[in-house]
Chain A
């Protein structure tokens, strides 16, 4: 029996590894490990490390070598690091990317070199539309989708007029475009604030404008450290009595522990839309969330969930071609099926390789142990596809 298996393995090996006997899969993972945004990057890195542990650092018969690079929150550096991964380390997959502008800058370097590019977070409209590419895949969402779901929530809650605030960069503009697309009422005001290394963190002038506009609801997108700062100031401004807060990518496992430490109870009960939540009921997610909490002591963020999925998506591709990494077509076809256990449950890919998936409404709550987290209260969209796919020439 044992001999037979050995023989089978040997034969498999002979067939699957013709001229280029790759003995390992190399994956480059670009994220932000310095500056304040490192809090997101570390969460992603933790999730990737956990996934590597869960797959025993093996994909099929091949060892996996994971190389992390820091983009320093700058598009230019992100591109340099991508060049290095492609040219110096000769990776097979380039993954990661928190920021839309970093992804846009780095895209050409990875794709021109004939590598697979997998976004574990950023989903700018250009890449879903005109710039779509056969070797690009996303394990997250197109930027507009989550705020579109939020626009739907606003309509259901009978909101008539809305104020929008977001940072002034690619994703911020997409988020604001998304909510404007589905929201039926009037937009009474909009502010795009400075972002990047020296991001604006004091929103006094903008919040005063919100107040004087008389908006019923305020929609915001402030990822990372700006999220906590924003929510604090929202509460101090006394807006909560007149203007209800609706957020995307702002109240999450990154900001909630800090808000809890800062005792900002007002955030509990606030609503956000998302494709995933730690309480989503499927086997892979339960395993992911419980082992993440055990290993790192906090809830994983959605950034972590997407990064965890990234590793399993790549694994499904490598295993589908029996480790023959030169078989790009085979790996692409395998990834297009999204045939792997995703923490969000089963989903499918559109022709631009962005997921077609559900979007949920999440509420910030206190869990059984007294930690602040989010819980799904409603399903807003089922199998939702982004709108830019029609512009994709593939």
Chain B
């Protein structure tokens, strides 16, 4: 068991080290495009980690999590459209917008259970999608091009792709740390307990609705920050970012990596982005293989990559 933990921990440490030195490695092999790939991967990992908080630990299967990516991205796009590039100001808008959207929708969604919850989160994301499609001023279907990335204090410039990357990486680490602390606190016990048996937690005297709502809001704000990074990174935003297939992809990243494990979403996102990149360069019919891969993962890899790693290490104990 201890040996198993070591292998599992070893892989995680190896990946984190790889990510920490990614810009240097990429500079060394002289393939600057890969930095874009890794940056996108890290940003999506933040989104996946935030989804994991509600889906993996809280048992709340949100099929509308991409809405927060979109709201976060529009929180830079719209100020930038009016010539406002102050990063902290944009970040504040992101947090307020995602916080209030998740509070409002969470209040309605959390009254439902099971598949109704899946569908109602989807409904709210679709509403947001169509609302932004309908606003002609902000580009509607065509989206907005963001001319400059956010301006941050202390002369930290995001126009430099390496500093952009490190900002994303540190936010990922920071959020993973918060999630780790959260799920291992009393708060986390209640969330995990209510995912397994909500009425038992209630009879123990916990107002689980409030706990779950707070958890939903935290996840929404975290994903909003990922959207803020994504908008900065791509310099382009469009309602497409909150398309329902994007929400589906986020779920897949979490499940692929292992729902309810801290580093699972990071593993899952890395695998997802790499497989997509390799396959789509290989054939225009790549979605066929990707789809089959998805089915195979669901059928044969229970517990995701993270689970697979632990199983491996346990069996060779």
Contacts and interface: CB of A to CB of B under 8 A. Distances in A.
- A contacting B, Cβ–Cβ less than 8 Å: yes
Contacts of B236: 75-76, 79, 105, 108
B142 A101 contact: yes
Contact of B241 (A76, A100, A109, A169): A76
A33 B280 CA distance: 11
B31 A70 contact: no
B32 interface: yes
Contacts of B235: 79, 108-109
Contacts of B238: 75-76, 101, 105
Contacts of B147: 108
B33 A101 contact: no
B33 A196 contact: no
A51 B40 CA distance: 36
A50 B271 CA distance: 38
Nearest to A33: B284
Interface string A47-85: 000000000000000000000001000111001100110
Given A101-B143, A168-B140, A170-B142, A88 B33 contact: yes
Contacts of B280: 70
B230 to A, nearest CB: 10
B229 to A, nearest CB: 15
Most chain A Cβ neighbours within 10 Å, of B31, B36, B238, B243: B238
SS of B interface (majority): helix
B151 interface: no
Interface in B2-52: 31-34, 36, 40
B142 A75 contact: yes
Contact of B141 (A33, A107, A108, A196): A196
A385 B141 CA distance: 28
A388 interface: no
Contacts of A194: 133
A80 B235 CA distance: 11
A74 B242 CA distance: 13
Nearest to B238: A75
A354 B238 CA distance: 27
A122 B59 CA distance: 46
Interface string B212-233: 0000000000000000000000
Given A83-B33, A83-B36, A74 B142 contact: no
A169 B141 contact: yes
Contacts of B31: 88
Interface string A103-115: 0110111000000
A195 B143 CA distance: 13
Nearest to B35: A87
A70 B284 contact: yes
Contact of A34 (B143, B241, B284): B284
Contact of A74 (B33, B40, B240): B240
Nearest to A168: B141
SS of A interface (majority): helix
B287 interface: yes
| Chain B residues touching A, range | 20 to 34
A374 to B, nearest CB: 29
B240 A104 contact: no
Contact of B240 (A75, A83, A88, A108): A75
A87 B32 contact: yes
Contact of B143 (A75, A108, A197): A75
A26 to B, nearest CB: 14
B205 to A, nearest CB: 47
A108 B243 CA distance: 24
Interface in A150-192: 168-170
Given A34-B287, A75-B240, A105-B236, A195 B141 contact: yes
B145 interface: yes
A367 B241 CA distance: 46
A76 B284 contact: no
B234 interface: yes
A40 to B, nearest CB: 14
Given A34-B287, A88-B31, A105 B36 contact: no
B247 to A, nearest CB: 14
Contacts of A87: 32-33, 36
Interface in B43-79: none
A119 to B, nearest CB: 15
A108 B33 contact: no
Interface in A118-174: 168-170
A270 B40 CA distance: 48
B141 A76 contact: no
Contacts of A196: 141, 240
Contacts of A79: 234-236
Contacts of A101: 141-143, 238
- Counting from the closest, the 3 A-B pairs by CB-CB distance are A88-B33, A101-B142, A87-B33
Interface of A: 33-34, 38, 70, 74-76, 79-80, 83-84, 87-88, 100-101, 104-105, 107-109, 168-170, 194-197
Given A33-B284, A168-B133, 9 more contacts: A34-B284, A38-B284, A80-B40, A84-B33, A88-B33, A100-B142, A107-B145, A108-B147, A194-B133
6 contacts: A87-B32, A88-B33, A88-B34, A101-B143, A170-B141, A194-B133
